[in-house]
Homo-oligomer: A and B are copies of this chain.
Amino acid sequence: MPSAYTRLTSRFQRLSRFGHLSAIAGWDMMTMMSPGGSRARGEALAELSVLQHQILTSPETAVDLVQAKQESLSDDEWVNLAEMERAWQQAVILPARLVEAKSVAGSRCENAWRSQRPANDWKGFAENLKEVVYLSRQEAEIRAQNAGVSRYDALLDIYEPGMTSCQLDTIFSDIKSWLPDLLQRVITHQSEQSIQQPQGPFTIENQRHLGLKAMETLGFDFDAGRLDVSAHPFCGGVPQDVRITTRYDQQNFLSALMGVIHETGHARYEQNLPTQWPGQPIALARSTAIHESQSLFFEMQLGRSPAFLARILPEVINHLGVQPALTQQNFIRLAQRVEPGLIRVNADEVSYPAHIILRYEIERALIESEIEVEDIPALWQEKMERLLGMDTTGNYRNGCMQDIHWTDGAFGYFPTYTLGAMYAAQLFQALGRTLPDVEQLIADGDLQPVFIWLQENIWHHGSRFSTRELITRASGEDLNPRWFRQHLESRYLAD
Contact = CB atoms under 8 A, between A and B. Distances in A.
Interface residues of A, number: 34
B37 A224 contact: yes
Contacts of A222: 34
Interface in A21-61: 21-22, 24-25, 28, 32-37, 39-41, 43-45, 47-48, 51
Interface string A148-182: 00000000000000000000000000000000000
B41 A241 contact: yes
A44 B32 contact: no
Given A25-B24, A28-B24, A226-B32, A18 B47 contact: yes
A205 to B, nearest CB: 10
Contacts of A33: 241
A47 B14 contact: yes
A43 B15 CA distance: 12
A224 B38 CA distance: 9
A33 to B, nearest CB: 6
Chain A contact residues: over half helix, strand or loop, or mixed? Answer: helix
A36 B226 contact: no
A361 B19 CA distance: 45
A18 B34 contact: no
A370 interface: no
A116 B256 CA distance: 44
B18 A223 contact: no
Nearest to A37: B241
A264 to B, nearest CB: 15
A20 B40 CA distance: 8
A47 B14 CA distance: 7
A32 B236 CA distance: 14
Contacts of A21: 21-22, 25, 44-45, 48
Contact of A241 (B34, B224, B226, B238): B34
Contact of A18 (B17, B44, B241): B44
Nearest to A222: B34
A389 to B, nearest CB: 46
Nearest to A20: B44
A51 B52 CA distance: 12
Copies in the complex: 2
Contacts of A41: 20, 24, 240-241
A36 B224 CA distance: 5
A368 interface: no
B24 A241 contact: no
A254 to B, nearest CB: 27
A316 to B, nearest CB: 25
A17 B240 contact: no
Nearest to A28: B24
A314 interface: no
A17 B43 CA distance: 7
Best-buried of A22, A35, A43, A221 by chain B (most CB within 10 Å): A43
A225 interface: yes
B224 A17 contact: no
Contacts of A237: 37
Contacts of A34: 222-226, 241
Nearest to A238: B40
A241 B25 contact: no
A240 to B, nearest CB: 4
A37 B36 CA distance: 28
Sorted from nearest, which 8 A-B pairs have the closest CB atoms?
A: A37-B241, A36-B224, A20-B44, A36-B223, A17-B47, A40-B240, A17-B44, A21-B21
26 contacts: A14-B47, A17-B43, A18-B44, A18-B47, A20-B40, A20-B41, A20-B44, A21-B21, A21-B22, A21-B25, A21-B45, A24-B24, A24-B25, A24-B41, A28-B28, A34-B222, A34-B224, A34-B225, A34-B226, A35-B223, A36-B224, A36-B225, A37-B238, A37-B240, A40-B238, A41-B240
Given A20-B44, A34-B241, 20 more contacts: A17-B43, A17-B48, A18-B48, A20-B41, A21-B48, A24-B25, A24-B41, A25-B25, A28-B28, A33-B241, A34-B223, A35-B223, A36-B221, A36-B241, A37-B225, A37-B237, A37-B238, A37-B240, A39-B240, A40-B241
